[in-house]
Chains A and B, each alone.
Chain A
Amino acid sequence: MSATRNDATAPARVAPTPPARPAAPVAASAPFGLDQAETCVQMISPAGVFQPNAAAEEFLPYLDRLTEADHRRFYRDMVVVRKFDTEAANLQRQGQLALWVPSHGQEAAQVGSAYATKPQDHVFPSYREHVVGMIRGLDVVDILRMLRGVTLGGWVPEEHGNFHLYTLVLASQTLHATGYAMGMQLDGATATGDPETDQAVIVYYGDGASSQGDANEALVFAASYQAPQVFFLQNNQWAISVPVARQSRTPLYKRAGGFGMPGTQVDGNDVLASYAVTAKSLDDARAGRGPSLIEALTYRIGAHTTADDPTKYRDSDELAYWVARDPILRFRNYLQGLGIDAQFLKDVDEEAADFAADTRRRALDIIGPEQSVIFDNVYAEPHPLMAEQKAWLERYEASFDEGAS
């Protein structure tokens, strides 16, 4: 047998192996180096003290838009969604959901960015942004319907706060969001100078998805057409079992510069910083100043999904580091520092428990769908195969009924 050119047993013709370079550290920065990063916008310290760093300075004016009632809403939503998240994971463990995708740990990045949107904006989530949907007016039971296997999507975006469907193929939605933002431009619905009507798009994706071609093509298209779009990248440090250092040797926000748009890194466990940075980016997008990228540094405290076991690949010190920087605890400490009444905090806990219990009841009541959903919406216009196969299935199944009678 003759050796082919790609036969591993063929004699090597390459030069001797050069001396190996010393192995680079796995993480581009200190593995949990969030607090030390001077470039990372932070308003509230991990201990809960309002201490804006230098990077936060230009974003401070955006905090003036927030009232005390907003602060209470931020806290309330973070607590409620965490309780909901825990309940949904329980439902999965009890066989009531096929899968659950936890958001535990990412509440501040999601709540802060969601409150920076305006009603006329459009939101393209990935699949973990439960509280963003809630804030935009989606009933979270609609999310459970999908994960219970009753729908493939479950809601019409325009009827639910312009919150688009979850997308399960990584980064596909970044391009849909860019196209939608291009459409806003073509419609003349943005950059008119009226911030109350000008529209923008925010798209959520993650550190894992940032490696996908589509995420990069979306950045190219958005920059090329100067689309009114904010790329909100939640860097939760892990793409299932693969650490962010395997996705990128450079901090992800720095990639924005290569595409010709501003990039900002924000402490994603700081709800005020997440709000302020997103508010500025969305303002810029609505005003015609083009797209931008936000990298929110956060951490997936739980598993990727209920099918995952993070103890197999993550070290407990890392988890402990992030648990100590919990976004809810941080904001609670901040509010307590401002003298928030204890009754409010107690009420929120009760409301969260009620919300979770109510969600559980309603999840168990989910019914359907009719088998006709197999065929009914594949095409908008009549299609012979749909008509034939739907009729055949009905006849086939009816034949058993006839036999029984």
Chain B
Amino acid sequence: MTTATDTSVTSASLPMTKALNAGLRQALLDDPKVILMGEDIGPLGGVFRVTEGLIAEFGDKRVLDTPLAESGIIGTAIGLAMRGFRPVCEIQFDGFVFPGFDQITSQLARMRNRHEGGILMPVVIRIPYGGHIGSVEHHQESPEAYFAHTPGLRVVSPSNPHDAYWMMQEAIKSDDPVIFFEPKSRYWPKGEVRFAESGTPLHSSRVVRAGTDVTVVGHGAMVSVLLQAAELAAAEGISLEVIDLRSISPIDYGPLLHSVQQTGRLIVAQEAPGFVSVGSEIAATVAERAFYTLHAPVLRVSGFDTPFPPAAVETHFLPSPDRVLEAVDRALAY
């Protein structure tokens, strides 16, 4: 095992995997009812090593290596939550969540409502998601819209190690089920994690780069694409305001609407297919709430409406900084 991250210091430069690990560890320390469940999360530390060292520190009553059955993981987590535990389930890859989809959407999401508020369902489901890692089928998908469409769930996705550390702890403290999407292409780049600075509220979006001409919004790995696009645009004299959504359900429209009131133009970017997507929802809501401030239609930059393609052509499928800038040009042409 590796040594646990020292969180008594003010800050550290960590990859997101280590930041998540530190967040999970803090949650395990803070609340004896927090337990981790999933496939290969014990001695191996998960296929992405996010849970590395935790079974050694907390034991196999807090970190449960489970049989390989996603519906079983979610279904038993529901029973454990009924018993007063706060399970944090790891789904190994985005495309493997679907065997557990029924338990998530028909049971987990509705359990509190069915009990007329008589119980809590504090279950977190961690899902590594998204492309850019050159992997095989079912390993690069972005299924967040399915969950955002399901009443009773909360859906979030951090874009950087600092948020990952804090959002994980916030998600575990939530008394509602939270689907926690981890952008796996951002697992390894390091970023500063400020341990003393408590996080912003879980369901708040945030301006991560101020600008004046066009607002661009995204979540997870897309935020770094948007920041790259903003750099390129700046070189051409175009100022992009970049918003990190952070929470996909509910969506915090405050910073978004405020920004659009300044810029009058909005681009929504996502790796997921655009049809009936989170981007579609944002476009519709901004059109409803900020119609008279818009100078151009809200434009979406998305994956295509196809299955995730073979990895050899994934760069043609995934939105790139250039595809974002192409949309920026179209928005500015109105």
Contacts and interface: CB of A to CB of B under 8 A. Distances in A.
Interface in A39-94: none
Interface in A171-225: 172, 174-184, 186-187, 213-214, 217-218, 220-221, 224
B45 interface: no
B83 A384 contact: no
Interface in B71-130: 71-72, 74-85, 99, 102-103, 106-107, 110, 112-121
Nearest to A178: B76
B112 A378 contact: yes
Contacts of A175: 71-72, 74-76, 78-79, 103
B189 interface: no
A386 to B, nearest CB: 9
A174 B77 CA distance: 12
A373 B116 contact: yes
Interface in A138-191: 151-157, 159, 164-165, 167, 169, 172, 174-184, 186-187
B262 interface: no
Nearest to A380: B175
Interface residues of chain A: helix, strand, loop or mixed (majority):
helix
B103 A381 contact: no
Interface in A348-405: 373, 376-381, 383-385
Contact of A152 (B76, B114, B119): B114
Contacts of B119: 156
Contacts of A174: 75
Contact of B72 (A184, A218, A378): A218
Given A152-B114, A379-B176, A221 B250 contact: no
B224 interface: no
Given A169-B106, A179-B76, A383 B250 contact: yes
A182 B174 CA distance: 22
A381 B67 contact: no
A179 B107 contact: no
B38 interface: no
B242 interface: no
A182 B62 CA distance: 12
Nearest to B65: A224
B267 interface: no
Contacts of A218: 72, 75-76
B223 interface: no
Contacts of A373: 116
B261 interface: no
Nearest to B254: A384
B85 A183 contact: yes
Interface residues of B, number: 42
Interface residues of A, number: 43
A184 B83 contact: yes
Contacts of B102: 169, 172, 214
B71 A214 contact: yes
Contacts of B152: 378-379
Contacts of A378: 112-113, 151-152
B296 interface: no
Nearest to B81: A179
B114 A217 contact: no
Contacts of A182: 76, 79-80
A152, A159, A379: most-surrounded residue (chain B CB, <10 A) = A379
B117 A176 contact: no
A164 B82 CA distance: 10
B83 A183 contact: yes
A165 B112 CA distance: 11
B78 A169 contact: no
B75 A214 contact: yes
Nearest to A169: B106
Given A152-B116, A157-B82, 18 more contacts: A165-B115, A167-B107, A172-B75, A172-B107, A175-B79, A178-B75, A179-B79, A179-B81, A180-B79, A181-B79, A183-B79, A183-B83, A213-B71, A213-B99, A221-B69, A377-B112, A378-B151, A379-B176
10 contacts: A164-B82, A175-B103, A180-B80, A186-B61, A187-B83, A214-B75, A220-B69, A373-B116, A379-B152, A380-B121
A-B pairs with lowest CB-CB distance, top 8: A179-B79, A175-B75, A183-B83, A179-B76, A217-B72, A156-B118, A377-B117, A380-B175
